[in-house]
Amino acid sequence: MSPYILLGLLIAGILHAFVPAKLMNRHLSGRGFSSVFKAAMIGVPLPLCSCGVLPTAVAMRRSGASKASTTSFLIATPQTGVDSISATYSLLGPAFAVIRPVAALVTALGGGWLMGKAEKKEAEGSADTPDTVAVVEGEIPDERPATFGGKVRDTLVYGFHTLLRSIGKWLMLGLVIAALIAMFVPEDFLVALGDHPLLAMLAMLVISVPMYVCATGSIPIAMSLMLKGLSPGAALVLLMAGPAANFASVTVISRTMGRRAAALYVTAISIGAMLFGIAIDYLLPRSLFLLPGTALGHACHHELPLFSTICSGILLLLLVLAFIPEKEQKLPEDSSACVTTYRIKGMTCPHCQASVERNLSKLPGVDSVTVNLSAGTASVAGEHDRASAEALIRDIGFDIA
């Protein structure tokens, strides 16, 4: 996977550094099916995991996006991204690499359309009251380096450090689980389910919906299960439902957009995953989904062991560097003597950290903000309203411990 992961991280960094956030926000913050379509199209290649996409979606909603377009973005983004698409090709082959983003796009459009119908009924039944809390920015920064050199540096830092810190532990967890499956699960463990693909898909759905695994980390797990006899359709259910639906996502969506939105979100992902899984197992030839290591004509994956080994070494080094504990930032000496520390639940990646720091720094009276990701705390210097800070933290998708 390593050459493809590195390529995906590079493309992700380019998207981050060179695509203006204002352009994205203008297309995402709208109403109607066109905004649903744009949200899905932008979300499919965007390299945000399930936890990282939540603050982005909440900020979109607060800045004027409809529930329909927000739901579409929430469904499409965590299922896949440029990094996971390239990694999918390396382990599962071209058919999965094509079908996976297509499935994410279709389910996002379906979920957004259903939410749009429900939102229209809500608007007809009651007055449309505006949100009372304005979150100032989303997870996609709207400030880019002015120079080309600065953008190149931003590309490398985001792709090979910030993003890798976000998905790295889930990628390693997926690899470990895949290795354990390969070593300890009997070869014929899933053969019996092979005769009942629909039952296998339902089993994968039940396992995947509450589980959290990133889009890239789910790939080796799916591959190992397929080697043990799992059908390609059931593997796709895992690839779709695992990254997109989990308890944290459902909780935040329920809080910010209502229980109906959360129910429609899970329903759209579940139905979409099952329909695409059924299409793969019953309508498409099994030969399309032979794993690259076992299919004829894929010897090219093994012709450059030296190159793959070098890429693996580079990726391992980047992972080590990404997870070296960062030196804790200290509040400026000239900051206000009044420092309030908030214990925040739900911060799991640098995207979460940046969202908390950026939004809290905009509160009136705040001089500076220092967020410790590992400790789960935010130290806010300056005379500010504590209730407003706590409300803001909840509104961007986190909880106060």
DSSP string, 113-179: HHHHHHHHHHHHHS--PPPS------SS-S---SSHHHHHHHHHHIIIIIHHHHHHHHHHHHHHHHH
Is the pLDDT assigned to residue 78 strictly greater than 90? Answer: no
Q: What is the pLDDT confidence band of residue 213, given thresholds at 50, 70 and 90?
A: confident
Same domain, yes or no, for 275 and 345?
no
Structural domain contains residue 281: yes
Surface-to-core class of residue 50, CB atoms within 10 Å of its CB (0-12 exposed, 13-18 middle, 19+ buried): buried
Residues with Cβ within 8 Å of residue 160, at least 6 apart in sequence: 9, 10, 13, 318, 322
Does the predicted model carry a pTM greater than 0.85? no
32 and 166 in a single domain? The answer is yes
Is the pLDDT at 366 greater than 70? The verdict is yes
DSSP state of 52: H
| Residues 216 and 277 reside in one and the same domain | yes
Q: Is residue 318 part of a domain?
A: no
pLDDT of residue 64: 66
Mean pLDDT over the full length of the chain? 78
271, 300, 329: which is the final residue of a domain? 300
Rounded to an integer, what distance in angstroms lies between the CA atom of residue 190 and that of residue 212? 22
pLDDT: which is higher, 246 or 378: 378
- For tokens 């899933």, the residue is 190
* Residue range of the domain that includes 13: 2-300
Residue 312 located in a structural domain: no
What confidence score (pLDDT) does residue 190 get? 64
Torsion of CA 264, 266, 271, 277, to 10 degrees: 160
Confidence band for 101, pLDDT divided at 50, 70 and 90: very high
Q: How confident is the model at residue 144 (pLDDT cuts 50, 70, 90)?
A: low
The C-alpha atoms of residue 398 and residue 392 are separated, in whole angstroms, by 9
The rounded percent of the chain whose pLDDT value lies above 70 is 78
Answer yes or no: are the C-beta atoms of 59 and 138 closer than 8 Å: yes
- 36 plus 128 within the same structural domain: yes
In a domain, 331, yes or no: no
Judge contact between 174 and 50, C-beta under 8 A: no
Between 84 and 170, name the one with better pLDDT.
84
- In angstroms, the CA 81 to CA 43 distance is 8
Q: Which residues, at least 6 apart from 100, have a Cβ–Cβ distance to it below 8 Å?
A: 79, 80, 84, 85, 88, 236, 239, 240
Residue 109 placed within a domain: yes
The encoded tokens of residue 370 equal 């220092």
Residues 120-148, mean pLDDT to the nearest whole number: 54
pLDDT digits (tens, 9 = 90+) for 335-345: 445 888 888 88
Same domain for 353 and 290: no
The per-residue DSSP string of 244-286 comes to H--HHHHHHHHHHH-HHHHHHHHHHHHHHHHHHHHHHHHHS-G
Task: Mark whether 358 and 291 lie in a shared domain.
Answer: no
Residue that terminates a domain, selected from 281, 300, 319: 300
Same domain, 208 and 156: yes
Report residue 37 as tokens.
């379509």
Q: Provide the number of structural domains found in the chain.
A: 2
Q: What is the pLDDT of residue 399?
A: 78
Q: Is residue 317 part of a domain?
A: no
Do 369 and 223 fall into the same domain? Answer: no
Q: Label the pairing between strands 368-372 and 377-381.
A: antiparallel
- What's the Cα-to-Cα distance from 7 to each of 108, 188, 203, 346, rounded to whole Å? 26, 35, 33, 29
Instruction: Note the pLDDT tens digit of each residue in 214-252.
Output: 788 888 888 888 888 888 999 999 999 888 877 767 776
Contact residues for 290 (Cβ-Cβ < 8 A; gap 6+): 93
CATH code: domain of residue 375:
3.30.70.100
Q: Is residue 355 scored above 60 in pLDDT?
A: yes
pLDDT confidence tier of residue 47, bands split at 50, 70 and 90: confident
* 30 and 129 housed in the same domain: yes
User: Does pLDDT of 283 surpass 80?
Assistant: yes
Regarding whether 386 and 280 lie in a shared domain, the answer is no
Q: Interhelix angle for 350-360 vs 50-62, to 10°?
A: 30
Question: Domain boundary at 285, 300, 315, which?
Answer: 300
Which pLDDT value is given to residue 294? 53
pLDDT value at 389 more than 90: no
Dist CA 243 CA 214 (whole Å)? 5
Tell me, yes or no, whether 376 and 271 share the same domain. no
Per the CB < 8 A criterion, the answer to whether 113 and 36 are in contact is: yes
Average pLDDT on 378-399 reads 83
Structure confidence at residue 137 (pLDDT): 42
Tokens of 5: 């992961």
For 299-314, the pLDDT digits (tens) are: 444 455 788 889 889 9
Position 164 in a domain? yes
Phi, psi of 369 (to 5 degrees): -135, 130
**Would you place residue 59 in the very low, low, confident or very high pLDDT band (cuts 50, 70, 90)?**
low
- The answer for residues whose C-beta is within 8 angstroms of residue 211's C-beta and 6 or more apart is 242, 246
Pairs from 179-187 (Cβ < 8 Å, separation ≥ 24):
179/224, 181/221, 181/224, 181/225, 181/228, 182/224, 182/227, 185/224, 185/228, 186/228, 187/228, 187/229
Q: How far is CA 16 from the centre of its chain?
A: 15
Same domain, 353 and 208: no
369, part of any domain: yes
